[in-house]
Amino acid sequence: MTSYAYLIPVFPLLGFIINIFFGKFLKRGAAWVSILSSLASCALGLPAAYEVAKTGQIFSAHAEWLTLGRSTLSFGYLLDPLAATLLFVVTIIGTLIQIYSAGYMQDDPRFSRFFAYVSLFMSAMLTLVIADNYALFFMSWEVMGLCSYLLIGFWFEKNSAANAGLKAFLTTRVGDVGFFLGILTLFTATGNLNFTELESSVHAAGATPALALAALLIFCGTIGKSAQFPLHVWLPDAMEGPTPVSALIHAATMVAAGVYLVARSFALFSAFPSVMQVVVLIGTLTAFMAAFIALSATDIKKVLAYSTISQLGYMVTALGLGSLSAGTFHLMTHAYFKALLFLGAGSVIHGTHSQDIREMGGLLKKMPHTAWTFIIASLAIAGVPPLSGFWSKDEILLAAFDSGNKIVFFLLLVIAFMTAFYMFRLVFLTFFGTLRNHKIHPHESPATMTGPLWILALGAILVGLPGSPFFGHWFSNFIHGPVTQGTHEIHGSGAVHHALNWFVVGCSVAAGLGGILLAAVFYLGKLNPSVWVMRTFKPLYDLSIHKLWFDEIYSVLLVRPFLKLGQWLFIFDQKAVDGLVNAAGTGTVKSSNLQGWIDKHIVDGLVNLVGVVTQLTSATVRRVQTGLVQHYLLITFVSVILLMYFHVKP
Amino acid sequence: MTHLYDIVKFGIYALMAFSVLAAILAVTVRNLFHAALCFAAVLIGIAGVFLSLHADFLAMVQILIYVGAVMTLVIFAIMLTERFGDNSSPQNNSLTLAAFGLAIVSLIAFSTISVKTRWPIQENAGALHLSVGELAYALLNTYVLPFEVISVLLITTLIGAVIIAKKDRVS
Amino acid sequence: MKSHLLSWIIFSPLLVALALLFVPRSQTFLLKWIAAAGTLFVGILSLIALGAFDPAQTGFQLVERVSWIPAFQVHYFVGTDGISFPMIALTALISFLGCIGSFGIKEREKEYYFLYLLLETGMLGSFLALDLFLFYIFWEVVLVPMYFLIGIWGGPRKEYAAIKFFLYTLAGSLFMLLGILALYFNATPHTFDLTLLVQNSFAVPLQKILFLAFFLGFAIKVPAFPFHTWLPDAHVEAPTPISVILAGILLKMGTYGFFRFSYPLFPEAALWFRPAMALIAVIGIIYGGFVAMAQTDFKKMVAYSSVSHMGFVLLGLAAFTANGFNGALLQMFTHGIITSALFLLVGVLYDRAHTRDMGAFGGLSAQMPVYSGILILFSLASLGLPGLAGFISEFLVLLGTYQAQKLWAGLACIGIILAAAYLLMMVRKVLLGPAHEKWAKLPDIHAREIFTLAPLGVLVILFGLLPSLILNYITPTAQALLLSLGGKL
Amino acid sequence: MIPLTHYLIFANFLFVIGIFGALVRRNIIGILIALELILNAVNVNFVAFSQNTSPDPATGQIFAFFVIAIAAAEATVGLAIVLALFRVRKTILTDEIHLLKW
């Protein structure tokens, strides 16, 4: 199975080609094309992942793609535990979400185009997962960005959607350019872009500043793609896209690719403690900030978007702390429960045609499937044992605890608390209580939508178990097995541990349950202290509701000056650069005019004198010009005769 | 033989005189059509003179092209511009006297030159016979380039004449 | 035909142009198709040349050398190598597509196609001439038809644009002519033959002066930063197919000149001027990007984007590394394809709406789905999306530059971000957003227009995925050039 | 045979008559006829010289051919011009066609 791994992304690509060219004729069949293509990828990818898990081996093969001087870039696939994990996540979630979309997008006029884009995305994402070098990785990375752009702006008639797509692409592009430069730096420093040889080449080159720079620049890619501070602003806006897209791209898979990038480059990052500290800093900051904003968001998808940013920050922090397994593990569990949350939100939106949680309430009875799966996912993200989120979050907290960095540990706990709070604020406002806007007539979604919800719910419950002590931390052994064999673990925290740290577990559970409890107090009971909180902590509340003013600050500091600069330069171009050219032109004309004047009045004065004389002479002489041909002939002939006479005479 | 020889000689001179006479008529006759006919007579006379110079082929060409083609053209042109063919207004302009004087003077001058100059006469002058084959050989070997140029000229003339003479579509 | 393949390539458009003179001007159908067949014939010939061309060989191939003006050692000397061959293929392709794209021209077709074919001969000759005198003649032959094509069939300010283009480029090429003459008199023996001139090593101060003289000629054509202002005017006023030719091929004559003449002839001077070249390149990249961002006129935006993208070619030249040269040569090709397509697309829109103001459009994606799909494809190619051709060339240029001088590459990356900004803002304004009722009746792109764009689209994707297809032709020559300049691989 | 000089004098006569005609005729067709006379005079000279002074008798004759061809061309174009002129100006008299005077 593994030797055909390169076919995994090919099926969705075929799906894309069929849908983009023949989608018009396929109509609803377009969904089948996409779903079948990703099922085919599942059929290839899952056995391959299983093979890796069973044997603990790495499978890879590559073919030459481009020769650059003495070094060669090759394209190939690499199936190691990391890739297998991602394959497991992407193929399953991708397929489920496409099945869900067939119901969700049912009435859309551009139905086939939607599935074409999703298939292209699947193809790019799967390529990225199994890519064996940075070049191929970057290419699929960018194509994913393109799909994200196209799908965010899928309903482009809405100005907000069109703008959100633009913003997403441009913001991530900034990070991507950093990533690109990072690749260049790495290639210049080591002459190698293959993941398999990354470790050895980093060792060979030693911890040079150039490599540290490469690591930092590559991290820029993560910052852009995984919506880390300060490039996180695009992700909340990206919620303008159809909800399945938010689930697939902006929650479960694509945004996690940034984390995957760090995990892939772990050998490079872990060689530089200072870079790792930057990673931790960014991760924690992002996680905290996003959680803070999520506290006050009222749009159901925006809450989830900020939650995603926050969780991604969590993963990045974990990797920065040196725990490859914790970060990857959380990536996997998060993909399941966050996809579930988004699909649930999509179901709610589908049923109510509203996104504002202040209008909802009491949906538990109207939409039981949606509600229960949503609650399961919320429990998972809040870190309630024994759901998946608990195990992964616990590992991250443990890594922080082991690193000895108490501030980070404390912050992560606070974030866990906030996460539980805002998630259950969402749950309570949406599903409990009574319906607040009576114009809404909620109804449960069709089976194509609820089916995937339950499957994902099952996943959200179960995928944490491989990492739990019940299975002897199988996952962490698996990840650490071949990839980092022989690597020195920085803080030792990533190393395999077989005992539970009950203090950490206690803190984690307390934070989760505390958050849920507080939310229940605020939003379930008749007592409603939220207004009081709002008033008392008004500055903080304002800060949160305005998303820390990021969009405004960027607009004033970056976007507008850039546009203005463009306009100024254009004016400069027209007035100065082109003006110079035109001035040269007019200058020439002017000076010729001056010369013309001199010519006319001085030089010509003399000439005119001559002219007058000439005129007088010619007035008489011109009489010869009778206009009669024969007169001319006569004169000519006489002249010839005379010439002959003078010539012959001597 | 002498007799025959003299007769031929006399005939040639007569032909020359005839040609000159016809030429004078061709440029003085009032009716243009008659003038054209006189000109045709001149051409035939010259063809005879060519014969006397053993230029048989040239004489044929002279008659075919000049008398056959060019004269037809001229006569057509005269007919097409009928109004001026034989009207009563004078056919000569005010230059007649000056032209006549000039003609006499130049005739004398040229004739003097012709007579006074010592021409490098060849030994076998007047007896050179040239077959048409030799002529063709010279034309298509030594003079092939001018020959081709002439053909291009004729084509150009053909097209040019058609374009100049055709009715202008715009007006 | 094989033995004179390049001459056939150069002069067959001219022959077709002369044949056009015998077609009555009322037979527009015949005129169009004869011209199209002529350009297609060049395309077929260049495919034959592709078969005869050996990519692994680095010297000149398919050479023809005949004495032309013996008194001045002028030769009719043509030949091709990995630098010029892609340009020939590009010229043949773009000319053919441009010719098909010209079918919309409705006035004075006879003169139009005559000048168009004459222009093609000039361009092909410029790319193939190896004798400087011959090169200069072809170089100037390009100017005249271009002047008329802009000046007669152009937009409202066509006279201004045409005269500006003509005088500006002519002024540049005059310096080049002086340079050529100076070369001739300083070379021993006196010659215009490039292969012989290269064997001379000129004194460094002389090299610097001559480099500058050639630089003026080429930089104006490129156009490099301070000399670029003719470009937006010419592009905006020129009819669509001529914009295509202008951006797709003519600009490349400038950078081609650097590769073919300036660098091999003046290696020391080239090395000395390297920082200046890089500076001009980087300024061009960033400046062009910013100004493109400020445009409201669709065509002007694409024109300024050319300034930015051609900056990458100059940057690759300045890098003095194999990757840089490779990338620059590839960028010439890919930019030719992509920008041509963008101009064709602008033309498609302009033909329907009669305006190029991007602000006036909106939401076209809904009623022109095929058009918008193609426009998005080429916008993405232009902004360097991996998987499409534009990325490979920019990647190589930046890699080469990075190996030479990190700062330049870092600054040039700003241009990449800007490219994404102005192109996607264009897509946003034209294709996305709420639909305008005013444009509700615009028909989608039709078959002939798709026909002109499809080959370009295929090439963009093909070269994006398999760049070695074309790099195999470029790399050996680029490496040989670098080695001959004293660089290291 | 007849000496060269006589042919020359004969040609002179034709030539002078031609000149006279070209000078005095008012009608353009008349002028054309006179010009043809001049050309014929030249032809006579060519053939006579070639028969008497040149080692190669072909040259003169061939030149005469060329002259005839050119004369034919000249007549054709000239007459075409006459027709065009007539159509435009309704006259073929030279003294009525003098736009090019002072």
Do C256 and C192 meet the contact criterion of CB atoms below 8 Å apart?
Answer: no
Name the closest residue on chain B to residue A640, using Cα atoms: B106
**Burial classification of residue C287, based on how many CB atoms lie within 10 Å of its CB (0-12 exposed, 13-18 middle, 19 or more buried):** buried
- Who's near C308: CB < 8 A, 6+ residues apart? C284, C285, C286, C287, C288, C289, C292, C415, C418, C419
**Burial classification of residue B115, based on how many CB atoms lie within 10 Å of its CB (0-12 exposed, 13-18 middle, 19 or more buried):** exposed
Chain A residues touching C330 at Cβ < 8 A: none
Helix, strand, coil distribution of chain C in percent, nearest 5: 80, 5, 20
Name the closest residue on chain B to residue A633, using Cα atoms: B99
Show the tokens assigned to A486.
Answer: 């022989």
CA angle D78, D83, D88 (to 5 degrees): 120
- Range of weakest confidence among A43-57, A430-444, C327-341: A430-444
Backbone dihedral angles phi then psi of residue C69, each to the nearest 5 degrees = -120, 90
Amino acid identity, residue A264?
A: R
Predicted local confidence at residue C363, as pLDDT: 82
- Any chain D CB within 8 A of the CB of A531? no
Please give, rounded to a whole number of angstroms, the shortest distance from the CA of A630 to a CA of chain D: 5
Q: Give the neighbours of chain A: at least 3 Cβ pairs within 8 Å.
A: B, C, D
Average the pLDDT over A77-84 and give the result: 86
Q: Do A68 and C294 touch (CB under 8 A)?
A: no
Chain B residues touching D84 at Cβ < 8 A: 164-165
Tell me which residue has tokens 């995603």.
A308
Give CA torsion, residues A322, A326, A332, A338, to 10 deg.
-100
Predicted local confidence at residue A484, as pLDDT: 43
Do A255 and A283 meet the contact criterion of CB atoms below 8 Å apart?
Answer: no
Q: Do D101 and A633 touch (CB under 8 A)?
A: no
Tell me which residue has tokens 């978007």.
A305
CA distances A96 to A44, A134, B42, B54, C95, Å, are 16, 29, 111, 111, 49
Question: In chain D, positions 20-79, which contact chain B (CB-CB < 8 Å)?
Answer: 20-21, 23-27, 29-30, 32-34, 36-37, 40, 43-44, 47-48, 51-59, 61-62, 64-66, 68-73, 75-77, 79
Show the tokens assigned to C441.
Answer: 């009746």
Show the tokens assigned to C105.
Answer: 């021209």
A235 or A619: whose pLDDT is higher? A235
Nearest to B109 among A630, A631, A641 (CB): A641
A476 or C484: whose pLDDT is higher? C484
Predicted local confidence at residue A120, as pLDDT: 92
Show the tokens assigned to A38.
Answer: 């990703």
- Any chain D CB within 8 A of the CB of B99? yes
Q: Give the neighbours of chain B: at least 3 Cβ pairs within 8 Å.
A: A, D
Name the closest residue on chain B to residue D41, using Cα atoms: B46
Q: How far apart are CA C270 and CA C276, in angstroms?
A: 10
Q: How far apart are CA C389 and CA C458, in angstroms?
A: 10
Predicted local confidence at residue A487, as pLDDT: 41
Q: How far apart are CA A213 and CA C26, in angstroms?
A: 68
Chain B residues touching A634 at Cβ < 8 A: 95, 98-99, 102
Mean pLDDT score across all residues of chain A: 84
Nearest to D98 among A622, A626, A634 (CB): A626
Q: Which of A17, A21, A15, A48 is nearest to A34 (CA)?
A: A15
Predicted local confidence at residue A500, as pLDDT: 66
Give the residue from D28, D56, D65 with the most B CB atoms within 10 Å of its CB, the best one to mutate.
D65
pLDDT at A70 over 60: yes
Q: Do B81 and D73 touch (CB under 8 A)?
A: no
Q: Do B53 and D51 touch (CB under 8 A)?
A: yes
Segments making up each domain of chain D, as ranges: 4-93
Give CA torsion, residues A241, A10, C379, A133, to 10 deg.
100
Please give, rounded to a whole number of angstroms, the shortest distance from the CA of D94 to a CA of chain A: 7
- Range of weakest confidence among A149-158, B2-11, C235-244: B2-11
D4-93: which CATH architecture? Orthogonal Bundle (1.10)
Q: What percent of chain B has pLDDT over 70?
A: 87
Tell me which residue has tokens 């630098």.
C83
Chain B residues touching A648 at Cβ < 8 A: 113
Chain B residues touching D5 at Cβ < 8 A: 114-115, 119
Predicted local confidence at residue A359, as pLDDT: 80
Predicted local confidence at residue A492, as pLDDT: 41
Q: How many residues does chain D have?
A: 102
DSSP letter string, C79-92: EE-TTHHHHHHHHH
Chain D residues touching B84 at Cβ < 8 A: 27, 91-93
Predicted local confidence at residue D102, as pLDDT: 57
**CA atoms within a 13 Å half-sphere pointing along the CA-CB vector of A359:** 15
Do A45 and A8 meet the contact criterion of CB atoms below 8 Å apart?
Answer: yes
Q: How far apart are CA C165 and CA A368, in angstroms?
A: 72
Name the closest residue on chain A to residue D95, using Cα atoms: A628
pTM of the shown model:
0.76
Q: What is the pLDDT of residues A553-585, one digit of tens each?
A: 888 888 888 888 888 888 888 888 888 888 888
Q: Do B58 and D40 touch (CB under 8 A)?
A: no
A242 preceded by a cis bond (ω within 30 of 0) = no
Give the residue from D45, D76, D88 with the most B CB atoms within 10 Å of its CB, the best one to mutate.
D76
Give the residue from B10, B16, B147, B152 with the most D CB atoms within 10 Å of its CB, the best one to mutate.
B16
Do C31 and C113 meet the contact criterion of CB atoms below 8 Å apart?
Answer: yes
**Burial classification of residue A597, based on how many CB atoms lie within 10 Å of its CB (0-12 exposed, 13-18 middle, 19 or more buried):** exposed
Give the residue from D39, D45, D68 with the most B CB atoms within 10 Å of its CB, the best one to mutate.
D68
Predicted local confidence at residue B121, as pLDDT: 81
Nearest to C424 among A140, A170, A562 (CB): A170
Give ipTM to 2 decimals. 0.66
- Any chain D CB within 8 A of the CB of B81? yes
Predicted local confidence at residue D38, as pLDDT: 93
- Hey, CA dihedral for B115, B119, B121, B125, is it positive or negative? negative
pLDDT at A345 over 80: yes
Nearest to B130 among D15, D17, D58 (CB): D58
Average the pLDDT over A483-492 and give the result: 40
pLDDT at B86 over 60: no
Q: How many CB pairs under 8 A join A and D?
A: 31
Q: How far apart are CA A502 and CA A504, in angstroms?
A: 5
Residues of chain C falling short of pLDDT 50: 1
Q: What percent of chain A has pLDDT over 90?
A: 8
Q: What percent of chain A has pLDDT over 70?
A: 95
Which ranges of A226-357 does DSSP label H, i.e. alpha helix? Answer: 234-237, 243-247, 254-264, 266-269, 273-294, 300-320, 324-352
Chain D residues touching A621 at Cβ < 8 A: none
